[in-house]
Amino acid sequence: MNETPWLTYMPSHATSATRPAVGEAPAVIDLPAPDLRSGVPLMTALSFRTSTREFSPRALSLATLGELLWAADGINRPLSGGRTAPSPHALQEIDIYVALPLGVYRYDSPKHQLVLKHAVDARGMTGYQDFVGAAPLDLVYVVRGSRVLDMPAAQQAMFSAVTAGSIAQNVSLYCASAGLATVVRGWINHRLLGDALRLNEDETPILAQTVGLPADADGTHNK
Ligand SMILES: Cc1cc2nc3c(=O)[nH]c(=O)nc-3n(C[C@H](O)[C@H](O)[C@H](O)COP(=O)(O)O)c2cc1C
């Protein structure tokens, strides 16, 4: 029987400081509505899904960012506030932090906006691998502990991880559909990242995901 080799992730020199923001960071960024007819069929996207660790440094367009975040955990049922990703009892306990060169933002799903948290470039703080901080976007999935307090303690961490995993898979499938490169990352420094993102005591980063154009992209998918 073949044994699957244990994949070791190549570390870079760990960054322990944020970098100055590149450009002026608006307090709020309105995201364009997604084009619900865009992309390839689901089965084709599934056939493309893969982890990629080589990225072009080129920025993603605002249209791409809007579609990516809507796919991640946007509102798909406005009447009920339902989202593209499931969550236990619809608690929606995962916040998506968006580390861009111009600052760290939180995705506000109901308003489909990015809300500025901290005007620094914290991309390099979201992990240890060489592409982290060089790719144009790092997402960080943060559990808002106050939302899961009523849940039995044993379920809090597990259910939150499942919600974050659902969001990450939505992002992966959007990337596969839109010709973007992505990798989910569990190898993060929770404390450093919590400081860099200016999180409160009850907020814990549990997963990160790098997104960008593939290193060899011609950019045709970047709307
Ligand atoms: C929970 C989780 C954590 C992961 N953490 C990392 C990570 O820190 N760094 C990394 O490069 N890949 C990470 N990966 C990606 C896996 O290495 C990858 O999915 C696996 O090698 C299978 O490859 P594939 O996604 O291309 O099928 C993670 C995946 C999952 C689901």
Using the mean position of ligand 1's atoms as its centre, give its distance from the Cα of residue 24 in Å.
33
Atom of ligand 1 nearest to the CA of 188: 8
Residues 6+ apart with CB under 8 A from 178: 38, 39, 64, 67, 68, 221
Residue with CA at minimum distance from ligand 1 atom 17: 7
Compute CA distances 138 → 24, 126, 132, 150, 159, whole Å: 19, 7, 8, 30, 23
Q: Residue 192's pLDDT is what?
A: 87
What CA–CA distance (Å, rounded) separates 171 from 181?
10
Using the mean position of ligand 1's atoms as its centre, give its distance from the Cα of residue 213 in Å.
18
Contact 208, 140 (CB under 8 A): yes
Residue with CA at minimum distance from ligand 1 atom 12: 185
What CA–CA distance (Å, rounded) separates 99 from 195?
13
Residue with CA at minimum distance from ligand 1 atom 22: 51
Helix (H, G, I), strand (E, B) or coil at 108: strand
- Please, which contacts does 102-110 make with residues 24 or more away whose CB atoms are closer than 8 Å? 102/21, 102/22, 102/23, 102/24, 102/25, 103/21, 103/25, 104/196, 104/197, 104/198, 105/29, 107/69, 107/72, 107/73, 109/69, 109/73, 109/74, 109/75, 109/83, 110/75, 110/81
> What are the structure tokens assigned to 24, written together?
């002026």
The pLDDT profile of the chain, 223 residues, written as one tens digit per residue, is 456 666 777 666 555 678 888 888 999 999 999 999 999 999 999 999 999 999 999 999 999 999 999 999 999 999 999 999 999 999 999 999 999 999 999 999 999 999 999 999 999 999 989 899 899 999 999 999 999 999 998 899 999 999 999 999 999 999 999 999 999 999 998 888 998 999 999 999 999 999 999 998 754 445 5
Whole-model pTM: value is: 0.92
Q: Residue 220's pLDDT is what?
A: 44
Using the mean position of ligand 1's atoms as its centre, give its distance from the Cα of residue 185 in Å.
6
Q: Which residues form ligand 1's pocket by a CB distance below 6 Å?
A: 7, 9, 50-51, 53, 129, 183-187
Q: Residue 22's pLDDT is what?
A: 82
Using the mean position of ligand 1's atoms as its centre, give its distance from the Cα of residue 183 in Å.
6
What CA–CA distance (Å, rounded) separates 80 from 42?
25
How many other CB atoms are there within 10 angstroms of residue 57's CB atom? Answer: 12
| Torsion sign (Cα): 122, 167, 207, 179 | negative
Q: Residue 189's pLDDT is what?
A: 87
Q: Residue 8's pLDDT is what?
A: 75
> What are the structure tokens assigned to 216, written together?
């060899």
Helix (H, G, I), strand (E, B) or coil at 207: strand
Residue with CA at minimum distance from ligand 1 atom 21: 7
Choose which CATH entry (3.90.1150.10, 3.90.79.10, 3.40.50.720, 3.40.109.10) describes domain 23-212.
3.40.109.10
Mutate to test the pocket of ligand 1, among 139, 184, 209 (most ligand atoms within 8 A of CB): 184
Using the mean position of ligand 1's atoms as its centre, give its distance from the Cα of residue 86 in Å.
21
Contact 125, 163 (CB under 8 A): no
Using the mean position of ligand 1's atoms as its centre, give its distance from the Cα of residue 160 in Å.
18
